[in-house]
Structure 1
Amino acid sequence: MKNGKVLLKSLLASVALAAAISAQAGSLTIASPQDPGSWDPIDTFLVNWASVATNVFDGLTYRGPDMALVPGLATAWEENEDGTRIRFTLREDVTFHNGEPFNAESVKFTFDRLLGEEGAQGPQRSNYTAIDSIEIIDDYTVDMHLHQPDPVLLTKLAGYGAMIVPPQYIQEHGSDHFAIHPVGTGPFQIVNYARRERVELEAYADHWGGAPRLDQLTYRFISEPSTAIAELQSGGVHIVIPPTVPIGMIDTIENNRNTHVASVPSPTVEALRFNTESGITADERVRRALIMAVDREAIVDSILAGQGQVISSFQGEFSFGYDPEMEPIPHDMEGARQLLAEAGVEPGASLQIDVRGGDATFGEVAQVVSSYLQMLGLNVSIRGYETNVLLNDIIPEGRTGEMFQQKWGGWTFDFDNTAYLMYHTGERWNPYDSDEELDAMLNEQRSITDPARREDLLQSIARYTQDRALEMPLYSINALYGVRNEVQNFEAAPDNRLRLTDVYLED
């Protein structure tokens, strides 16, 4: 009888353990507003790529929601005295999802590819131009040689173009195949990708950091916010990621007993940038007049419901290079009218604002901006584009109207990552402007290792761009996540780069 009780107790313990494991496993579904179209790290600049691919790929370094930079595929690194060489000690016994070993050759291949002809065709290369070459010391040691010091490089190595890719797999299958069937070393592996519909991932049990607690992870591409929120409430998705959650639907989510909103300060900023090459906005006086005409404080108060703040330059307060003493160009409708008259702009002059069609919150903002500009006597139209079209075709090709929406994640929390890509001549996000003085400042700050000197120069760059009225800075906005209550261990990431290894579902 005693043995029977022991056996029964053991069986009950096993059942309880199995139930606990089951509760911590399962399949999590996330609503993402955009299909990146390619999973190749050198092809992308999109935060919606990172929200998925942070689970698929690893970098040499890793930076999580707490903003601390920690080892990734490199267990340690050491810089020489002049900052022109970084020696990385690599993690051993790591494999890619296809079983291919990770080693020094993988690192060299990744950066040779990023800095070579393939990388030149994508948007990431300019973030890593400080790198000259990768030298293999042994199977698990590499030296990264730099043309010049880059004070932000170690952070850049934690994301996007610097994600380590498998040499043998790409050489065998080609980059086009890799972009649709990616292989990384991350905690999840992509097993199915239905373009514009969904991407499905499974746990990679052999991940060097341990197997994820979830079995499966699915991202559904849902661009319409009301649809995404309805799916959240019905249980069709467990998490809705930024920027899908409209400010106006926060109460809807919070008032549902099964869901809540997770809000965290983020580096994301919004601006309306100007075509400085043609149309009425080629005149600096006109650009300044348009900025002066819009009451940005009123927009933040009326539309953002306390989830953002007015910015004076194209960066938020957590960005290195932010100047707390710098004031936004003030709202002054009469001064704006005088500037337009000086510039010879006739009443009824046309002005087009290009926006992302699926961005509900910014759609409201654009309408309010349009109303202010119409008060100046301008004939304003708003043109909405599918996000991928606007970002991949219209803006880079210089085919926008006089003003166009620019949302920027600034994930490095350093103004360089924004300023260089927005203002330097020839960059993807700068299709219209060329300014030798600004180029010189942008280049100079990249080689400065003294933080105080570099911060001062970045602040000077922000003031210079304000003086030239290169954009209408609007606001920084919190990252808003809609989350079902059964999701456990979820930590909202300020930069959308969700690492879901420890997340699980509770019945």
Structure 2
Amino acid sequence: MKHPQTTKRLLLTAALAAMLPLGMAAGAQAAGSLTLSSPQDPGSWDPIDTFLVNWSSVATNIYDGLVYRGPDLKLQPALATEWQVLDEGKRLRFKLREGVTFHNGEPFNANAVKFTFDRLLGEDGKKGPQRSNYTVIDRINIIDDYTVDFVLKQPDPVLLTKLSGYGAMIMPPKYVAEHDEAHVNANPVGTGPFRMTAYDPKVSVTLEAFADHWGGAPKLDTVTYRFIPEPATAVAELQAGRVDIVVPPTIPISMVDTIKADDRLEVVSVTSPTVYALRFNTRDGITADERVRKALIMAVDRKTIIDAILGGQASQIASFQSELSFGYDPAMKPLPYDPEAAKALLKEAGVAPGAAVQIDIRGNDATFAEVSQAVASYLGMVGVTATIKPYETNVLLNDIIPQGRSGAMFQQKWGGWTLDYDNTAYLMYHTGERWNPYDSDPKLDALLERQRSMTDPAAREKVLQGIAAYAADRALEMPLFNLNEIFGVSKRVKGFVAPPDNRIRLTDVTVD
């Protein structure tokens, strides 16, 4: 007969075992749960539907690509174990990892790779913003179950990096075929280290460790992302211990010292590729005139804005890229702050004092709201009356800007996640692109197309630098600053490495 205390312990052990997450063996050390605050629900978890960094900060844990770029910004094998560049860059051969399964049990193989890219480049992909990043791909040839060739229309020096993110995440063919678009959008299935087990739109998502991940099971049991657009609320939840990490760009500069003052918390700030600008409507109103655009740039003291509002967490930019970007020219200087020259240009362009412009911004970006107020004040000093119109982020990015319905100026934040100016410049300046609803410049189009086929890095870099100079000469935007990625982190979190591109992989993270 067992002793009553022994029986009690056995019952308790059985109860605890029943509560263990799927795939976790009884007796394994539970690593706990992590909660993150993210400012935005991307609205769809399908890789072909999105361009949002906040999508990637979640989905990097759900999906894998053929290659992976870590916090050190170096490419490494993922679903492909190796690759070769063949035919003078017009063909890439990938050897695929064997024994990998999707979260639904479907096998990963060459067919999944071909399906993913046929879908991205087909009718489904046309509906989303990712397709244009991959149109250099002519077709995918299956060599055998674990070998594929990417046959390209021309060499693309950035393609390998593109394959590490966003639209290139590998999808399960059978699952996608069996479910409609709305279901796939809300119920992502990948091969990543976590699988999504719950999604409450605009509230939260819950991820559970995928024990069968090819790289080994994550150390955490569960991860919850809460969508908290209000910065003060997110920081309050961090202070209260209900959130462990606040993801950029939530934390306003004004709240950095508040976090630093709490000995249970820390601020982790890293140089990032993220740049901010006010882009111009070059089609309508007074900003259709290049002289006016240059005047508005020179009217604003961008250095003072960085010093006074951003607290040293940013640097000034001359073009719409950071110093991490291939194509960055350190010799390029921004237009100077010169209000008298600005007034002269406005007069030359026939702009009467009191002329009005509207600045459209993301409503949940508290720091940029301060910046835009400062910009409006500077414009007022040269006789231009600026009003600021905040939008819900998804409305601004999915409707107002792409449909060409913005005011004279609109906030553009860009991660430049490939660390190559092509990924910014082509999408911002090429005729017909989503982020270029107003402008068409044949000379710029030709330069953008030319650099994509160049295989000599030094020569290509010169062309990219020329594109940056040309865009600046035409004053297509008011370049503002390159802002650090600022994370608020509880000290109970261990093993977290802040990625410069905000693509957070949580495989090795634990909590005390």
Normalised-by-shorter TM-score class = over 0.9
Alignment partner of 2:475 out of 469, 474, 489: 469
1:99 aligns with 2:105: yes
Question: What residue number does 2:83 align with?
Answer: 77
Alignment partner of 1:167 out of 149, 173, 179: 173
Question: What residue number does 1:132 align with?
Answer: 138
Query: Larger deviation: 171-180 or 120-129?
Result: 171-180
Tell me by how many angstroms 1:175 deviates.
Answer: 2.6
1:457 aligns with 2:495: no
Give 2:441's aligned amino acid. Answer: D
Q: Are the structure 2 counterparts of residues 19 and 363 from structure 1 closer, same or farther at C-alpha, using a change threshold of 3 Å? A: farther
Provide TM-score, normalisation by structure 1.
0.95
Gap runs ≥5 in structure 1: 1-17
Question: What residue number does 1:14 align with?
Answer: none
Question: What residue number does 1:273 align with?
Answer: 279
Alignment partner of 1:190 out of 184, 196, 207: 196
Give 1:359's aligned amino acid. Answer: D
Tell me by how many angstroms 1:19 deviates.
Answer: 13
1:323 aligns with 2:329: yes
Tell me by how many angstroms 1:177 deviates.
Answer: 1.0
Where 2:89 maps in the other structure, the secondary structure is: coil
Alignment partner of 1:478 out of 479, 484, 493: 484
Alpha-carbon displacement from aligned partner over 1:387-427 (angstroms, at most 9, x marks no partner): 11100110001010000000000011110010000000010
Where 1:410 maps in the other structure, the secondary structure is: coil
Where 2:460 maps in the other structure, the secondary structure is: helix
Partner Cα distance (1:381, 1:33) in 2: 25
Q: Residues 428-467 of structure 1: matches in 2 within 5 Å?
A: 428-467=434-473
Partner Cα distance (2:419, 2:28) in 1: 38
Where 1:383 maps in the other structure, the secondary structure is: strand
Provide TM-score, normalisation by structure 2.
0.94
Question: What residue number does 2:13 align with?
Answer: none
Where 1:267 maps in the other structure, the secondary structure is: coil
Tell me by how many angstroms 1:223 deviates.
Answer: 0.2
Question: What residue number does 2:504 align with?
Answer: 498
Partner Cα distance (2:26, 2:89) in 1: 53
Q: Residues 194-343 of structure 1: matches in 2 within 5 Å?
A: 194-343=200-349
Tell me by how many angstroms 1:379 deviates.
Answer: 1.7
Tell me by how many angstroms 1:173 deviates.
Answer: 1.0
How many equivalent residue pairs?
488
Alpha-carbon displacement from aligned partner over 1:126-171 (angstroms, at most 9, x marks no partner): 0001100000000000000000000000000000000000000000
Where 2:319 maps in the other structure, the secondary structure is: coil
Alignment partner of 2:161 out of 155, 158, 161: 155
Where 1:118 maps in the other structure, the secondary structure is: helix
Give 1:296's aligned amino acid. Answer: R
Tell me by how many angstroms 1:82 deviates.
Answer: 1.1
Question: What residue number does 2:12 align with?
Answer: none
Partner Cα distance (2:449, 2:349) in 1: 33
Give 1:102's aligned amino acid. Answer: F
Where 2:506 maps in the other structure, the secondary structure is: coil
Where 2:488 maps in the other structure, the secondary structure is: strand
Alpha-carbon displacement from aligned partner over 1:288-310 (angstroms, at most 9, x marks no partner): 00000001111111111111100
Question: What residue number does 2:379 align with?
Answer: 373
1:67 aligns with 2:67: no
Tell me by how many angstroms 1:174 deviates.
Answer: 2.6
Q: Are the structure 2 counterparts of residues 226 and 327 from structure 1 closer, same or farther at C-alpha, using a change threshold of 3 Å? A: same
Q: Residues 355-394 of structure 1: matches in 2 within 5 Å?
A: 355-394=361-400
Partner Cα distance (2:47, 2:199) in 1: 16
Question: What residue number does 1:108 align with?
Answer: 114
Partner Cα distance (2:459, 2:123) in 1: 34
Partner Cα distance (2:468, 2:28) in 1: 52
Gap runs ≥5 in structure 2: 1-24
Partner Cα distance (2:157, 2:63) in 1: 23
Where 1:111 maps in the other structure, the secondary structure is: helix
Q: Are the structure 2 counterparts of residues 253 and 85 from structure 1 closer, same or farther at C-alpha, using a change threshold of 3 Å? A: same
Partner Cα distance (1:335, 1:273) in 2: 21
Tell me by how many angstroms 1:378 deviates.
Answer: 1.4
Identity percentage of aligned residues: 68
Where 1:178 maps in the other structure, the secondary structure is: helix
Question: What residue number does 2:19 align with?
Answer: none
Tell me by how many angstroms 1:461 deviates.
Answer: 0.1
Q: Are the structure 2 counterparts of residues 258 and 340 from structure 1 closer, same or farther at C-alpha, using a change threshold of 3 Å? A: same
1:348 aligns with 2:327: no
Tell me by how many angstroms 1:460 deviates.
Answer: 0.1
Where 2:160 maps in the other structure, the secondary structure is: helix
Alpha-carbon displacement from aligned partner over 1:464-505 (angstroms, at most 9, x marks no partner): 000000000000010000000000000001111000000010
Where 2:88 maps in the other structure, the secondary structure is: coil
Partner Cα distance (1:19, 1:99) in 2: 22
Question: What residue number does 2:11 align with?
Answer: none
Alignment partner of 2:427 out of 404, 421, 432: 421
Give 2:46's aligned amino acid. Answer: D
Partner Cα distance (2:490, 2:502) in 1: 17
Question: What residue number does 1:3 align with?
Answer: none
Give 1:413's aligned amino acid. Answer: L
